[in-house]
Structure 1
Amino acid sequence: MTPAVLLFDGVCNLCNGSVQFILKHEKSETLKFSAIQSAAGQKLLLQHNIDPEQTNSVILINDGVVYTESDAVAKVAEFLKFPYNTGKYLKVVPRQIRNVFYKKVSNNRYKWFGQKESCMIPTPDLRNRFLQ
C-alpha cells in the first residue's frame, strides 16, 4: 500500500508549522510529507498531472486520490488524534464556502505568517517521514 503523502509549501511558515502540528498530534506514523519544491514533490505533482504554477494549495495524495484546498485539510484531520480529528467534519460545510476561507488564508500566508529562505530540514529521527 502506498503511504498517504502531504505536499506542502516548504518555505511557508504556516505550512511548516502545520506539518509540525500534524507530527505531534497524529494517531500513527503513517503519513509521509514532501515539500512541493523538493524533487520528490515535483515528481508527485507530475505523476498526478498537477501544474505547480497553478496550485496554491496543500495537497494530500491518499490511495491514489488527490485532495486539495479545504478537502485536503479535512482529510488530513482523519490522521489526527481526538480532538483534532474532528476537523474532518468540515466536510459538512459546502466546499465552495470552505474554499473561500481556505483561499483567503492561502493567498495571504506569506504576508501573515512569513516565509523561510529554504525548505525545512527534518531532524534525523523524522527523516524517514519526509520524501526527498
Structure 2
Amino acid sequence: MAMQLQFPCAGVRLGASGPAHVNKRVTAFATQSRSRSRSPSRADDDVDWVQATSAFFQRDTRPIMLFDGVCNLCNGGVKFVRDNDRNRRIRFEALQSEAGKNLLRRSGRAPDDISSVVLVEKDRSYIKSEAVLKIMEYINLPFPQLAFFLHFVPLFVRDFMYDRVANNRYTIFGRSESCEL
C-alpha cells in the first residue's frame, strides 16, 4: 500500500490515491508504486490515478474545477467563475465526464461522487467549502479578499452550510438535461 501521512491540523493527506475518506479536506499527491495484488473487481484500486491523469497538467498547469454538469446552480457557478476570471486561470470539467471521473479518482473520491465541487491542482485537490474558497482565490477582486476572511469561519460551519445547499440543489435550483459546457 502507498505510504500515507496525515497532518490533522492542516487537513492535508500525502500519498498516492487510496480509499476516499469523507472528511478528507485536501489531498496532496505523491506518486508511488504499489506492490499489493487485488481482486479484479477492484481494478481501479491498482491504477495510480495521479500518474494516469498527469497528462491533464503537462501542457496546461491551470487548476481544473469539477462541477455537476446537470445542476443549474453548478452551471451558474461556472458561468460566474468564467465571468470573473479575466485571466482564464481556471479550467472546467463536468463530474459526469470520463475526464471528470478520472480526476475524481485522482482526488481520492469515487468516480460517481457528484456531491461536491472539486478543484484539482497539479499537486492537490480541494472539496466542498475548501474548493469554493480556493476558486475564489483564483478569480478577480474582491473575491480573493472575501475568501481570506471566510477562512476565519470554522470549517465545520462552512461545510455544514455547503452540504445544506448541495443536498438540496436540484430541488431549489433544478437540473438540466445536459451539461452547458
> Which category describes the TM-score, using the shorter chain as reference length?
0.7 to 0.9
From 84, 102, 107, the equivalent of 1:25 is: 84
Which amino acid in structure 1 is aligned with residue 95 of structure 2?
Answer: I
Q: Does the alignment pair 1:52 with 2:111?
A: yes
> Size of the alignment, in residue pairs?
121
Which amino acid in structure 2 is aligned with residue 117 of structure 1?
Answer: E
Q: TM-score, normalised by structure 1?
A: 0.84
Which amino acid in structure 1 is aligned with residue 128 of structure 2?
Answer: E
Question: Which residue is 1:70 aligned to?
Answer: 129
Question: Which residue is 2:146 aligned to?
Answer: 87
1:45-72 per-position Cα deviation (integer Å, ceiling 9, x unaligned): 1223211345510000123211000000
* C-alpha deviation, 1:7, in angstroms: 0.2
Does structure 1 retain, via aligned residues, the 8 Å contact 2:89–2:139?
A: no
Does structure 2 retain, via aligned residues, the 8 Å contact 1:28–1:79?
A: no
- Bigger share in helix: 1
Which amino acid in structure 2 is aligned with residue 113 of structure 1?
Answer: F
Greater shift after overlay, 76-85 or 100-109? 76-85
Question: Which residue is 1:101 aligned to?
Answer: 161
SS in structure 2 of the partner of residue 119 of structure 1: coil
Q: Show structure 1 runs of 4+ deviating over 3 A.
A: 52-55
How much identity, in percent, do the aligned residues show?
40
Alpha-carbon distance between aligned partners in 2 of 1:62 and 1:87, rounded to the nearest angstrom? 21
Question: Which residue is 1:127 aligned to?
Answer: none
SS in structure 2 of the partner of residue 60 of structure 1: strand
RMSD: 1.5
1:45-102 per-position Cα deviation (integer Å, ceiling 9, x unaligned): 1223211345510000123211000000000001111122333121111111110100
Residue ranges of structure 2 left out of the alignment (5+ in a row): 1-56
